[in-house]
Amino acid sequence: MDKITKPQEKSDMPKRGKKYIEAGEKMDRLKKYTFKEALELSIDNSYVKFDASVDVSVRLGVDPRHADQMVRGTVSLPHGIGKPVRVIVFAEGEKEKEALEAGADFAGSEDLSEKIQKGWLEFDKAVATPDMMGIVGKLGRILGPRGMMPNAKLGTVTFDVAKTVTELKAGKIDFKVDKAGIIHSSIGRVSFGVEKLLENAAFFLDTILKLKPSSSKGTYLKSIAISTSIGPGIKVDPVYVRDLLR
């Protein structure tokens, strides 16, 4: 009888490159570091040839299924995120002119809407004056899933377009807790250095703390991890947040 060979099962685990594995071996995966230690390790072990993004992931003690525990907001990082931000503005007349003078990449109304409906998406953020929401609403299926829909709660539906464009261009970011209760965000680039990244991290985490829902019970900041583009995550002990904010 021929020997029956059981087919080899494919692993669900993603394959890691040699440089990723080497970077991971330089850190204790069980240890929880201070913010400064984690950032130093991330920068020293960044192996990509470009100026890698430095990202933070924060697991919160909230249940996003409940509306009163949905954590979302905006924050202007003091040093930006090191990435050019392309901003469009839905506005007419003086507000359109004001937006362009403030640095908006594109501004318009029906013409801008038609351009997007035809597949043009060469922008990162969208702003709209309140009177333009009738036009913008038609783009919900396109902009909504991409997180680009103007939103009054995030300050991107406003008549103060000049200020909003300036802030977005300078590095104002928006964030939202995902279904797993985690907030992910960039806090800069490897080239920023530790001190600037620490300042950005402080502003970001201070904002998250201020947004703690009153209905959230128990530990709010459950875990924090720092990582660079394609690099391994480094655990940070949440107890060090107080030291960081000082």
Return residue ranges of the chain for CATH 3.40.50.790: 87-170
pLDDT at 142 over 50: yes
Between these two residues, 211 and 46, which has the higher pLDDT value?
A: 211
At residue 238, the pLDDT reads 94
Q: pLDDT band for 4, please (50, 70, 90 cuts).
A: very low
Fold of 87-170: Rossmann fold (3.40.50)
Q: Which helix (H) or strand (E) holds 234?
A: strand 234-236
At residue 17, the pLDDT reads 55
At residue 171, the pLDDT reads 84
φ, ψ (nearest 5 deg) of residue 221: -90, 100
Cα–Cα distance between 41 and 118 in angstroms, integer?
45
| pLDDT tens-digit map of 162-175 | 999 999 998 898 89
φ, ψ (nearest 5 deg) of residue 190: -55, -35
- Domain 18-81+173-245 indexed as CATH 3.30.190.20: yes
Cβ(194)–Cβ(43) below 8 Å: yes
Q: What is the pTM of this model?
A: 0.77
Cβ(156)–Cβ(143) below 8 Å: no
At residue 47, the pLDDT reads 73
DSSP states along 125-146: EEEE-GGGHHHHGGGHHHHGGG
| pLDDT tens-digit map of 61-117 | 999 999 999 999 999 999 999 988 999 999 999 999 999 999 999 999 999 999 999
How many beta carbons lie within 10 A of that of residue 32, not counting itself? 17
Return residue ranges of the chain for CATH 3.30.190.20: 18-81+173-245
| pLDDT tens-digit map of 205-233 | 999 999 999 998 889 999 999 999 878 88
